Amino acid sequence: MAKLYFKYGAMGSSKTAQALMCKFNYEQKGFKVYIFKPIADNRKVINGKSVIYSRIGLTSDCFEFDKNFDFLNYFKNEKFDKNRTVIIVDECQFLTTKQVEELKDLSLEIPVLCYGLLTNFQTKLFEGSKRLVELAESLQEIKSVCRCGRKATINARLVNGKAVLEGDEVLIGGDESYEGMCYSCFKKLVEKK
């Protein structure tokens, strides 16, 4: 159904895997799927091409966007069937407010599914996530668990086993840099000496 979806979860909650499975399902039914990721996410390159990659090994070729990418202009010049086209955005927290508004406009005609983090390592909303919460017709939490077994809600940035609260908002990384955890475990790691 043509609307804007925001599917969010903590680090390690299988957001990318779910985005790739969604792409597969639509393509299996004959839809044209445009899947995007931020150009800053340069962790995985196959045969010289940047790809979307999940920790469980799923991959896909993709389109990339940066802060200047104009989704409306791109799709204005693209030939596509409005009844058989879907847009998927991985790592959507890196979208700008303007880009989320462009995707909202596109979602009036085609489904737009956005997968990403809600908050940064300082427990504050990302710009793109904030605007998605404000505009999306469908908000869905992708749940994951903390090391203690509680629900993971925090994206802790770890340095030498300690959760840090200082630094640039964007530091591309995976399990070596971040861990999804509950607030209680996060607080313990922040206060760790």
Q: Which residues are catalytic?
A: 91
* Strand order across the 85-90 sheet: 63-65, 32-38, 85-90, 112-116, 4-8, 138-141
